[in-house]
């Protein structure tokens, strides 16, 4: 496919499950990639995998919650490819689980820094190139936690609600400048981060946890990282040219109904 032929796209959290699955899809569709992640060894390993398949890939090890490093990955993309056509603002963490009245303040601040400040900083330093050229598309990483309260996840929920707010605001500001901003809201997706949560909820019985959490979706299963990546690729493409300020649910129908059969 040539959906993204000759386009330069930044993916943060690129060494993670959803980030890398999306990179694989974008590379197959012709994109030139700037892969960004805080885990440099894992990032380089992932980039080597894509280069072996013929993809044009650059990497930037960066902390997405640190402004100087976000400014650097944006600048390095422009230096490498001449412009930024797409941006998957994906980096994030799940965090610890605890009731709000017992939640550790330092952990709350950590999630705010990565999941919300990091998304803001990405917008702050990537959008200027797009606005200057009058073209571009951004997809922010939200969650079904952006629409519902998830017990024990006050920090995560707060950050993901915030991502939707940032998405809507940025979309309203740059649409007439030729730039679109949307977000995706994955449900229960099989990733290492999910398994960390499952270990907290179902100690020693991860498979039962996956099956139980999968019942949140009307499809009765957990999603796969590539099922998120395919939607992200679409939203970054010209096929989604009339989609702006939207929140795309990728949740197997979890938000569409109240299950009464489980």
CA gap 98, 159 in Å, rounded: 16
Q: Which two tokens stand for residue 233?
A: 């690729």
CA gap 166, 172 in Å, rounded: 10
Q: Which two tokens stand for residue 258?
A: 């109240």
Residue 150: what pLDDT?
87
Question: pLDDT band at residue 260, thresholds of 50, 70 and 90?
Answer: low
CA gap 116, 194 in Å, rounded: 19
Greater confidence (162 vs 149) lies with 162
Q: How many CB atoms lie within 10 A of CB 49?
A: 15
pTM of the predicted model, to two decimals?
0.94
Residue 194: what pLDDT?
80
Superfamily of domain 8-187+225-247: NAD(P)-binding Rossmann-like Domain (3.40.50.720)
CA gap 199, 44 in Å, rounded: 28
Active site residue 242: no
Residue 1: what pLDDT?
58
Of the candidates 45, 48, 69, the residue with the CA atom closest to the CA atom of residue 57: 48
The shares of helix, strand and coil residues in the chain, as percent rounded to the nearest 5, are 50, 15, 30
Residue 22: what pLDDT?
98
Question: pLDDT band at residue 261, thresholds of 50, 70 and 90?
Answer: low
Question: pLDDT band at residue 43, thresholds of 50, 70 and 90?
Answer: very high
Flag whether pLDDT at 262 surpasses 60.
Answer: no
Flag whether pLDDT at 9 surpasses 70.
Answer: yes
Contacts of 62 (CB under 8 A, 6+ apart): 12, 36, 37, 38, 69, 70, 72, 73
Q: For the segment 156-211, what is each residue's pLDDT rounded down to a tens digit?
A: 999 999 999 999 999 999 999 999 999 999 999 998 878 877 887 788 887 888 88
Domain ranges of the chain: 8-187+225-247, 189-222
Q: What is the DSSP letter of 112?
A: I
Radius of gyration of the CA atoms of the chain, in A: 18
Q: For the segment 92-126, what is each residue's pLDDT rounded down to a tens digit?
A: 998 998 999 999 999 999 999 999 999 999 999 99
CA gap 120, 68 in Å, rounded: 13
3-class SS of residue 8: strand
Mean pLDDT of 76-94: 97
Cβ atoms of 34 and 87 closer than 8 Å? no
Mean pLDDT of 132-136: 98
Q: Which residues are paired to 86 by β-bridges?
A: 9, 137
How much of the chain, in percent, has pLDDT values that exceed 90? 83
């Amino acid at each position: 496919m040539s959906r993204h032929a000759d386009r330069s796209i930044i993916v943060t959290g690129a060494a993670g499950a959803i980030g890398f699955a999306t990179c694989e899809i974008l590379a197959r569709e012709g994109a030139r990639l700037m892969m960004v992640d805080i885990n440099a060894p894992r990032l380089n390993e992932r980039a080597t995998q894509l280069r072996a398949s013929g993809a044009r890939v650059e990497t930037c090890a960066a902390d997405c919650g640190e402004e100087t490093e976000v400014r650097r990955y944006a600048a390095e993309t422009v230096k490498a490819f001449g412009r930024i056509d797409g941006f998957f603002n994906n980096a994030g963490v799940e965090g610890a689980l605890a009731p709000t009245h017992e939640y550790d303040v330092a952990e709350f601040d950590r999630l705010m820094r990565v999941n919300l400040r990091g998304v803001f900083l990405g917008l702050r330093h990537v959008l200027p190139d797009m606005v200057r050229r009058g073209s571009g598309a951004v997809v922010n990483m939200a969650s079904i936690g952006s629409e519902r309260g998830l017990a024990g996840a006050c920090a995560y929920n707060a950050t993901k609600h915030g991502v939707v707010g940032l998405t809507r605001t940025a979309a309203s500001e740059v649409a007439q400048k030729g730039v679109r901003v949307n977000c995706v809201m994955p449900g229960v997706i099989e990733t290492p981060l999910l398994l960390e949560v499952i270990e907290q909820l179902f100690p020693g019985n991860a498979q039962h946890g996956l099956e139980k959490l999968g019942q949140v979706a009307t499809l009765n299963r957990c999603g796969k990282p590539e099922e998120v990546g395919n939607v992200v690729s679409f939203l970054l493409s010209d096929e989604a040219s009339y989609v702006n300020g939207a929140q795309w649910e990728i949740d197997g129908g979890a938000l569409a109904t109240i299950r009464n059969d489980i």
